[in-house]
Each structure stands twice: as structure tokens, then as C-alpha cells.
Structure 1
């Protein structure tokens, strides 16, 4: 008989982005399957508020450093107190604290690696990705392969679980009326180039603005629809004005109706410069049926296959992105065919249900070992 799974998540980050969204989505999905989930995080973090609002037990710990003994022993106490048999860690500092708490308390530890940034080989990498955790879940095959090949980690305990999307929520049949009201008719008779991403530097918003400035010289009938919030929210309008396309750009801010936003887009773009795993945005847009263009940063090419399910361009190359946008918008039949193939691929390989099933398989495996 499989033991009951009870998971204590840890998260050092105070921000809100794809990583934190994924943690919360997984916690909710596992709760629906009857599996206990709780989280330890910093008091001021966005995920603390989100988890509490969703009805999860939330414990605040300082996570002041890799060897923060107050946090390490606090995690061990929490896991024992709540009968948690897995500590699932997500960021650097909490992964050290969580792994040491697990070792001290005889509790299984799973380390998630969400980013594609390079991990420097050496003792620290061997400790946190090989010796301390019982398993590692990477958000993409390329991250797993990097850890195995460059950091000499045990391939038998490293798993690739790409982010999936909810194919019920992200559907071609989504209602777009609220988003049309936001755009106030500006989309009528025009192409809508869209991006859904936290407004941070490495997401490539500046490159997209530069590409659109180039595209405007050849294909004037478009608007740029930017969905998201973040550190660059004050800079992007200034950059758009400097490039002469300010009047074309609609800044929507944070939106909860992302499927509807994507459905109104003629093309959804993710021009990331670095750090991407496999992205939650690309599978979402693919399931909605919107054509996609992304950069080749990180593991995005695991999701989007150039010329088959979308277009892929080099990171930071505004000219290449402008050319891909021009091709996509000027040949709608080819773009629609790629979008159909993309949706079929996403339904087969990139659903949220598959993500949860694959993660559950790792939970069960570590408890069997």
C-alpha cells in the first residue's frame, strides 16, 4: 500500500511569477486529489498571502541564509508536527534549509529547479542537487540534462516535469467580451501582437518593442497588447514612446482573464533573453489556438518547434523577431495551420493534468525508495 502523501513546500522568494504561480497551482490540484499540502515561506512574500487566501496552512520562517538554523530546525519541527513525509523545496536558500531539515528529521526531500540559468559545477551543486535531495524535479529536459551532464548528478533521481496548462480553462471557446471592452475597439481591423509575462528585464519586452518599431515601417495595421505587471512597468511606456510606437501599445497590467487576452491576440510572443524553463505561457497560448513565437532561450524549443508548432528566433534579435512577426501576420493560413498543430501537441504533451500526474509519480517514487 502506498503511504499517504503529506507535503511541506518551502519558498524563499518574496516575488510573484511563473515559479510561484506553478507552486500554488500544484498545491490546489493536489488538494483536490486528497493530498495534504502546506507551505513555509517568508511573512512578506506574495505566496504567503496567496496560500493563506486559498486556505492552506502557511508558516512564516526567516530563510535568512543557507545555514539559517532557526529555519532549518523550524522546518524539521513543522514537518514532524504535521506528519509531513516530503519536504518540497523551490529556491536556493529554502532548498538548503529544507534539505538539511529533511536529513536531520529523516524526511524525504524533493528539490525543484525552475530556472534554466547555468548551475556552476562544484561541491555546492553536488550537495544541493545530488547528495541532499532524494529527487530533483526540473521544469524541462534541458535543465535536467545540464544538471546531470555538467554537475555529475545521478540521472536516476532527476526528473523532467515541464509546466502544463489547464486545457479546460485555456480553450478556443473562451469569452473575450471583457477584453474587447478593455481594448475599446482598437483591435478592430488590426493585428494584435501580444505578450503575457511579468514585466522584468529578461522577459525581452524591450526586444519586442524594438521589433514592433521595425515592423511598423512595413506592416502598420497592428497594436501591441502587453499583459502583466512588474519592475519595468514605468520604463516600458517611455521606451515605446522613444521608439515611436507609443500610440500602438496597450498596457493591460495584471489580468486574471489571461485565456481571453490570448484568444484576442493574432500572435502571442515570448522573446525571453534567458532563464526560461519551458514556460507556462506558450502551452497556454497553444491550447487557446493562438499562433506563437518565442526565442530559443532555455527550454522553449522543447515546447515550440520552429516551423511546425510556431516560430523560434534567437534571443535578443529584434530583426529576426520582426521578420517572424511579419511572416506570421502576412500569411494567416500558414499561421493557423501551425496553431492547429500546436494545440494538438499541447493536448497530448503539455496539459496541467499530465504535469500533476508526473509530479505525483515522483512523490510516490521517493516514498517507495
Structure 2
């Protein structure tokens, strides 16, 4: 039996980490024994990990430049006889590459990349000066959508040899709107949201690239024309204070709800009518987007990363340019004005996820890539 070491920086509540936990949980234990290694302190999703079949090790780094966990990785590789190291995101690859180089066994590396457009020049330079060379050393590179693969190969043609596409996927049975309708009704009741209100929701960490400021300014125009609308923001992070200040300045406190980070977003999704994704950078193929679609919600998204591969404009939602607050407001108003079309698009969204973006499909395709990496 093969032995695979999965390296994820943290288990925070975010899309890449959620996808990684889903993947490790779902890979057949008859295919490989699984060890999950993290090196940041945030273990918010630890309870989601199937500890009965997965060994979890957390070795928090002591400082930004602490590389001592690489020695732990090297020992793990040699002591467990690891056949493959799977890294989620570039920084995990750096730790995995150093650890593998320090081991006697030196297993092949696979890296799953979850970023497309970088948020600033610094991270772009890191790709150019460091990460592209580490990525070239990988046996396989996993991109989570077609647009992301085209973007990276456009920047670094030398990655083509190893590049594979495995779309993110979600568990349709877990995200079942019909079964969760009572929870949605309860969510509205608990927060004083009328049953007749149109509820937009955004599930995202409060970071600048998630576009909360753009979304809130667009929503202020929606409220001016459709005052019965609500916006629910789930998540936490450094940009939350700025978002709350915008809500206060524009007098929207009675229609904008901050829930904080939610360990389970299904009640919110069951309560909502439309999912909004306003990201301006980093976003590639949002797991939160797929979860909402699986719950039968149409999605309004900025045209970023591979969003257009799931948000089929005029069929499962609407696409708008990044940071275009007027276009975002128009899209939101379009769906407020036509609840019947909103429901039809929501049904089409779930059907598309069932056809192309299930967790089972993601796991099966990933296992094929891992088999190939271990055979090469």
C-alpha cells in the first residue's frame, strides 16, 4: 500500500483548506495510508478531519522564517516510508521541497495550486523568483480549473509537462437545500429577516482581495431602490472593521448582518436567495461558490479565475467585472426584481454542480493524478 503525506499550511476556514480536508477524508484508505501535516496554529477545521483513518500532525512554526518543521517533514518521510508528498499551495510546497531534499527517501512532489491573479507585486515576484522553480521540480501540478491552468502556463511555459486540471468539487448530499429548508427558515427568524425579503449572502474571509468594500457600496444602491433586501456577510478577518465602518456610514446596519466565521454555512445558504462573490484577486475556483450552487443558489460573481466555468452568465448567475460597483449593483437589482428567474437559475446551478463539480469526481480524478505521479 502506498503512503502519502499531505502538507497544508493550516486548517483555517477558507476554500483551499476546505478542499484539502474534503480530499484527504475522501481518498480511499485502501489506496494509500494518509498523514496530514500542518505548520500554522489555526486548526479551525480539525474536527472535520476523519481521525480514524488519517494521522494528523501539527508542528507550529515559531516565526515567519522558522524552517525547523522541514526537519520534521524529513523525519516523517523516512520513518513512515512516504511514497508521495502532496502540497496544498506554494508555501506548503516550499516546506515539502526542503523536507524531501533533507530526507533519505526523497519522494516525488505534487502541488495543488489555488491562486490565479496575485494580490500584489510582492507575491508575483515570489512566483517569478522562487516558486516557479519549485513547481518545475514537481512530478505533477494540480490546477483547480481550466482558466487557472492557462494563466500559469502563460506565465511559466515550463510547467506544461506536469500540469493537470482537477476541478474543485463539493458533496451534493451534504448541501441539500430541500432537506435544510427548516434550518434556513430558523436562520431568518433568529435574525429578524422577513420570509419575503431577498437575501444576498457572501461567505468569505474579510481580506482586501475579497472585495467586501465594493460589495457594500454596491448594496447601498440596491437598498436605495429595493429597501426590503438584506445582505448577510459570513466570515472574519482584518478587513472586517472597514466593512463595518462602511455599513455605519451609509446607514445600512438594519439590513446588513455580520455573522462572524461559521463552521457550518448551510443554514445561511438555505436562508439566502443569491450568493455574491466580489473578489478582486487570488480567487480561482471558489469552493464557497460551488457550495452555494449545490444549495440551489444562483451566483453573482466577478469575472475572475475560473468563475465563468461555473457561473454561466444568464443561466446559473451573472458575471461582472472586478471592482465595478455599478455593474455589481445592477446584477443584484436584476435578481431582486425577478424572483422566478432567480429560482430557475438556482436549479440550473445545482444541476451543473451535479454534472461537473462533485466531490466524488474531484477525488477520483485526483487519485488518477497521484497514481500517475507515483508510477513515473
Using the size of structure 2 for normalisation, the TM-score is: 0.88
> C-alpha displacement at 1:227, in angstroms?
2.0
Asked if the contact 1:63–1:97 (Cα under 8 Å) also holds between the matched residues in 2, the reply is no
Asked if the contact 1:197–1:203 (Cα under 8 Å) also holds between the matched residues in 2, the reply is yes
> C-alpha displacement at 1:360, in angstroms?
0.7
> C-alpha displacement at 1:122, in angstroms?
4.3
- Which stretch has the larger CA shift, 143-152 or 305-314? 143-152
- Which stretch has the larger CA shift, 48-57 or 303-312? 48-57
Write the mapping of 1:43-54 to structure 2, written as runs, cut at 5 A: 44-46=41-43, 49-50=46-47, 54=51
Counterparts in 2 of 1:126 and 1:228: CA distance versus 1, 3 Å: closer
Q: 1:299 aligns with which of 291, 295, 306?
A: 306
- Which stretch has the larger CA shift, 211-220 or 4-13? 4-13
Q: Report the aligned-residue RMSD.
A: 2.6
In structure 1, the residue matched to 2:121 is none
Matched, 1:244 2:251: yes
SS in 2 for 1:211: helix
**C-alpha distance in structure 2 between counterparts of 1:218 and 1:69, whole Å:** 54
In structure 1, the residue matched to 2:130 is 124
Counterparts in 2 of 1:149 and 1:58: CA distance versus 1, 3 Å: same
SS in 1 for 2:202: strand
Matched, 1:205 2:212: yes
**C-alpha distance in structure 2 between counterparts of 1:73 and 1:189, whole Å:** 58
**C-alpha distance in structure 2 between counterparts of 1:154 and 1:310, whole Å:** 33
> C-alpha displacement at 1:53, in angstroms?
8.1
**C-alpha distance in structure 2 between counterparts of 1:33 and 1:235, whole Å:** 48
In structure 1, the residue matched to 2:152 is 147
Superposition misfits of 4+ residues, deviation over 6 angstroms: 64-69
Q: 1:20 aligns with which of 17, 24, 44?
A: 17
Runs of 5+ in structure 2 lacking a partner?
Answer: 119-123
Matched, 1:91 2:89: yes
Asked if the contact 1:6–1:36 (Cα under 8 Å) also holds between the matched residues in 2, the reply is yes
Q: Deviations over 1:258-315 (max 9, x none)?
A: 2232122111111111111110112111121112111112221222121122100111
Asked if the contact 2:222–2:229 (Cα under 8 Å) also holds between the matched residues in 1, the reply is no
SS in 2 for 1:40: strand
Counterparts in 2 of 1:320 and 1:129: CA distance versus 1, 3 Å: same
Matched, 1:107 2:107: yes
Q: 1:314 aligns with which of 292, 315, 321?
A: 321
Equivalent residues, number: 365
In structure 1, the residue matched to 2:173 is 168
